[in-house]
Amino acid sequence: MTQYKIPVLPGDGIGPEIIAEGRKVIDAAGERFGFDVEWIEYPHGADHYLETGELISEETLKELSRYPAIYLGSIGDPRVAPGILEKGILLTARFYFDQYINLRPIKLLDGVWTPIKDKTSKDIDFVVVRENTEDFYIGIGGRAKKGESKDLLEVRRTLYSAKFGLDIETDSEEIGYQIGLISKEGTRRVIEYAFDLAGKRKKHVSSVDKANVLSDIYGFWREEFNEVSAKYPDITTDFNFVDAITMWFVKNPEWFDVVVTPNMFGDIITDLGAMIQGGLGLAPGGNINPTGTSMFEPIHGSAPKYKGQNKVNPIATIWAGAMLIEQLGEKEASDMIVSAIQKNILDGKVRTYDMGGRSSTSDVGDDIARRIKEE
C-alpha cells in the first residue's frame, strides 16, 4: 500500500471543521484506491500566534519543504489586525515554497445555483492560472512625511511639472506608497504553465493586464506573453483589460478556457469566478510549485462568525483535497472525489445552508466519503 505523509494546517475560524471533512474524504479515497495517509498536524494560526508570538518559523518552513503537498484550512482572525496572519503565514508559505502557480478552476457543477442568468455547467468551465509570487504581493512599500522622503512626496508634482511645466503645490503632509514588480523569469514560467495547460484543454489562453495604464509593469507582462505565445502556434489567445474581464466573466464565461493573470488581478477575478461557480463554499485552489512543495486550500477565508457551528460548506476544501492527491499522482482517486461531490450535489439531500440545505459540515463530508466507499 502506498504511504503518504501530508502536513495539514487547519488554521483559524472554520478551518479545523472543513479540514476534518477534507481528511475524511481523502482517507475514504485511500481505502478505495489503496493508499494510506499519515496526517502531520501543525498548529499555526491566530491561537498559536497569540500564545507564542510566532507566525511560522523558518525551521517549520524547512521541515514542511520535505513534503510535496500541504493541506491548508483557512487563515485569519478578528483578534489580529488584517494582514498579519495572512501575510505572516499564507503569503509567506506561497513565497517561501516558490509556489508560482495559483490554480483556480472555475467550474459550475451540475445542480449548483449560480447568480448569473442563462448559464449552465457547459458555459462555466475554465481555469484561472494566477501568478503567485510577484506583482504587488511582494510587500514593498511605505509611508513618507514631508521632508523625510522628498523624492516620493514630490512625485505627483514632478509629474505635473514634467508634463506641463506647471508648478502645482500640494499641501499633502504624508503619503503611502506601494511597489509592484514582475520579473522576466517569474512571468515566463507562469505563462508557459498556462499554455501547457491549455494544450490539454480547449487550446485557448486569455491574458489579463492593465497595460494601457500600468504600462511599465503590465506592458512587460504583455511582451512576455507574446514571446511565450509565439512558441505555441496551435494555441489561440486574447488580451483582456482587467476591468473588462470582470464583465465577460458575468456575461460570457463560455469564452474562457485558461485565463492567465498577474497576482493581484488574479486575486480579484477569482473571487468573482468563485461567485459565478456558486459561491466561495465551492471554490478550491492550489498553490503549486511543480517541482517543490505545493499547498492546497479553499479560496474562502476563515469565516470567524461560523466557527465551531458545524455549519459551513466543506466542498471547497474537499475539492482542494482532490487537487492535492492529483498532485501526488492519485489521478483516479482525485477524479472519484470530484465525481462524489457532483453526486452529492445532484442528489440534493445533504447540503449546507449556503446551497439551500439544512445539513451540517460533517453531514456533507460523511455523504461524500460514503459515496466514495460504496459507489
Residue ranges in 6-65 that form contacts with a second copy under rule CB under 8 A: 58, 61
3-state secondary structure of 155: helix
Find the angle CA(223)-CA(225)-CA(229) to the nearest 5 degrees: 120
Residue 324, interface with a second copy (CB under 8 A)?
no
* Measured distance CA(215)–CA(222) in Å, rounded: 9
Question: Which of residues 8, 112, 274, 324 is near a second copy by CB under 8 A?
Answer: 274
Three-state SS string over 308-354 comes to: CCCCCCCHHHHHHHHHHHHHCCCHHHHHHHHHHHHHHHHHCCCCCHH
User: Is residue 96 classed exposed, middle or buried when 0-12, 13-18 and 19+ CB atoms within 10 A define those classes?
Assistant: middle
* Measured distance CA(94)–CA(55) in Å, rounded: 14
Q: Is the dihedral of CA 153, 156, 160, 166 positive or negative?
A: negative
Residue 131, interface with ligand IPM (CB under 6 A)?
no
Question: Which of residues 52, 212, 215, 226 is near ligand IPM by CB under 6 A?
Answer: 212
Q: Rounded to the nearest whole angstrom, what is the least distance from the CB of residue 74 to a second copy in the complex? A: 13
Part of the chain binding ligand IPM (CB under 6 A), chosen from 85-93, 150-158, 218-226, 288-296: 85-93
CB neighbourhood size of 110 (10 A): 11
Our CB check for ligand IPM shows the closer of 30 and 281 to be: 281
* Measured distance CA(248)–CA(265) in Å, rounded: 15
Residue 304, interface with a second copy (CB under 8 A)?
no
Question: Which of residues 150, 184, 331, 358 is near a second copy by CB under 8 A?
Answer: 184
Question: Which of residues 242, 288, 318, 325 is near a second copy by CB under 8 A?
Answer: 242
**Which residues make Cβ contacts (< 8 Å) with residue 337, sequence separation at least 6?**
25, 26, 29, 318, 319, 321, 322, 325, 368, 372
Question: Which of residues 178, 226, 227, 375 is near a second copy by CB under 8 A?
Answer: 178
Our CB check for a second copy shows the closer of 100 and 296 to be: 100
Question: Which of residues 174, 216, 227, 243 is near ligand IPM by CB under 6 A?
Answer: 243
Our CB check for ligand IPM shows the closer of 173 and 243 to be: 243
Question: Which of residues 14, 37, 90, 325 is near ligand IPM by CB under 6 A?
Answer: 90
Our CB check for ligand IPM shows the closer of 270 and 361 to be: 270
Residue 257, interface with ligand IPM (CB under 6 A)?
no
DSSP single-letter state for residue 44: T
Residue 208 near residue 261 (C-beta atoms within 8 A): yes
Our CB check for a second copy shows the closer of 30 and 298 to be: 298
Our CB check for ligand IPM shows the closer of 140 and 213 to be: 213
Residue ranges in 212-231 that form contacts with a second copy under rule CB under 8 A: 212-221
Find the angle CA(52)-CA(15)-CA(115) to the nearest 5 degrees: 140
Our CB check for a second copy shows the closer of 271 and 335 to be: 271
Q: Rounded to the nearest whole angstrom, what is the least distance from the CB of residue 301 to ligand IPM in the complex? A: 6
Binding mask 129-158 toward a second copy (x if CB under 8 A, else -) reads: ----xx-xxxxxxxx--------x--xx--
DSSP single-letter state for residue 154: T
Part of the chain binding a second copy (CB under 8 A), chosen from 23-31, 82-90, 305-313, 358-366: 82-90
Residue 170, interface with a second copy (CB under 8 A)?
yes
Residue 208 near residue 245 (C-beta atoms within 8 A): yes
**Which residues make Cβ contacts (< 8 Å) with residue 23, sequence separation at least 6?**
8, 37, 39, 71, 321
Residue 299, interface with ligand IPM (CB under 6 A)?
yes
Our CB check for ligand IPM shows the closer of 44 and 351 to be: 44
Cell numbers placing 177: 506608497
Residues that bind ligand IPM (CB under 6 A): 86, 90-91, 212-213, 243, 267, 299
